[in-house]
Amino acid sequence: MLQLILGGARSGKSRLAEKLATDSQLQVTYIATSQPLDGEMNERVAHHRARRPAEWALIEEPLELARVLRENASADRCLLVDCLTLWLTNLLMLDNAERLSAEREALLDCLASLPGEIIFVSNETGMGVVPLGELTRRYVDEAGWLHQALAERCQRVVLTVAGLPLTLKGTAL
């Protein structure tokens, strides 16, 4: 089963994804896409790390998400990817449109063949004002396109607001 959990900053999306992973009763591998490059991001990573069960496996991969999914997906495993917008940011910062396109297509192409349970977490960025800068507008556009393509392929899509899940597609939580 493929699931996409969307929400704003501190909306409860990661907590919900972690609960769904635990409830799956499968072995869980947490795939972290962040690159903690400053103190604030280090604190966020530490907060997530402290909340995760010790028995969960951890893979840190900022760019090659499709490869990691293909290598680790199995019928007895739940992969939790947190988060897609950080992954997208990492690719945008490379300033290599071909690499971004290739990694995005590789991700979308591999989804149908992945066994087990896959839970994606991502920031919903398209509900605010249009950003002033070119890079931030591109980020919002790319995130929106990625979310649309993923939502099309996922069996369940959930928007999380104030810690409350709103099921947009699939069986309600």
On whether 10 is known to bind a ligand per the annotation, the reply is: yes
On whether 44 is known to bind a ligand per the annotation, the reply is: no
Write out the two tokens for 165.
């899940």
On whether 144 is known to bind a ligand per the annotation, the reply is: no
DSSP 113: G
Q: Is 48 a catalytic residue?
A: yes
Q: How far is the C-alpha of 131 from the C-alpha of 139, rounded, in Å?
A: 9
User: Looking at 44, 48, 67, 77, which residue is catalytic?
Assistant: 48
On whether 8 is known to bind a ligand per the annotation, the reply is: yes
- Nearest Cα neighbor of 140 from 121, 126, 120, 160 is 126
**21 burial level (CB within 10 Å; 0-12, 13-18, 19+):** buried
SS3 45: helix
On whether 169 is known to bind a ligand per the annotation, the reply is: no
On whether 50 is known to bind a ligand per the annotation, the reply is: yes
On whether 172 is known to bind a ligand per the annotation, the reply is: no
Residue ranges for the binding site for GTP? 7-14, 32-34, 49-52, 60, 82
Residue ranges for the binding site? 7-14, 32-34, 49-52, 60, 82
Q: What residues act catalytically?
A: 48
